Amino acid sequence: MFRENSQGTFDMKIAVTSQNRRTVTEHAGKCRKFWIYDTEQGQVTGKTLLELPIEQSFHETSPHEPHPLDEVQVLITASMGPGLQHRLAAKGITALMTSEADPDQVVAAYLQGTLAGGAGSCDHHPDHHHPHA
């Protein structure tokens, strides 16, 4: 889950879905904008925005092909379907859902072990029908 860097400390990359670049957003499978947090020793050391073309969203790509988010150890989102949860687990990525809105606060809470969980998969909409990645 963690990788050792050249200084002998442990790093972790955390991705947060943020289609609007301001809040943690839903539908991780269709999301194309992710805040990527670099962490070291439980502290955020960097934050960059990863913007994917639509054809690289989880919804549009094969789970058997490499993906730009394969390098993260944790993905935090407001909602995702069970297919994406299984896909991430198969790649060794921890998938977490939260009802918290602020990406920076979500990552800080995760690193402190206090992240509040969210509603779960996006089948919380009774009229919501689409295939999940």
How do residues 34-54 score in pLDDT, each as one tens digit? 999 999 999 999 999 999 999
DSSP code string of the chain: --EE-TTS-EEEEEEEE-TTSSS--S-TTT--EEEEEEEETTEEEEEEEEE--GGGSGGGS-TTS--GGGG-SEEEESB--HHHHHHHHHTT-EEEE-S---HHHHHHHHHHT-PPP--BSGGGSTT------
CA 56, CA 123: separation in Å to the nearest integer?
23
CA 12, CA 3: separation in Å to the nearest integer?
7
pLDDT score of 33 more than 60: yes
- Going from the N-terminus, what domains does the chain have, and what CATH number goes with each? 3-123 (3.30.420.130)
pLDDT score of 99 more than 90: yes
As a whole number of Å, the CA-based R_g of the chain is: 14
Contact 82, 29 (CB under 8 A): no
CA 44, CA 38: separation in Å to the nearest integer?
6
Backbone angles phi, psi at 99, to 5 degrees: -95, -5
- pTM to 2 decimal places: 0.83
Q: What's at 72, amino acid-wise?
A: V
Contact 57, 17 (CB under 8 A): no
How do residues 112-126 score in pLDDT, each as one tens digit? 999 977 655 444 333
pLDDT above 70 covers a percentage of the chain that reads 80
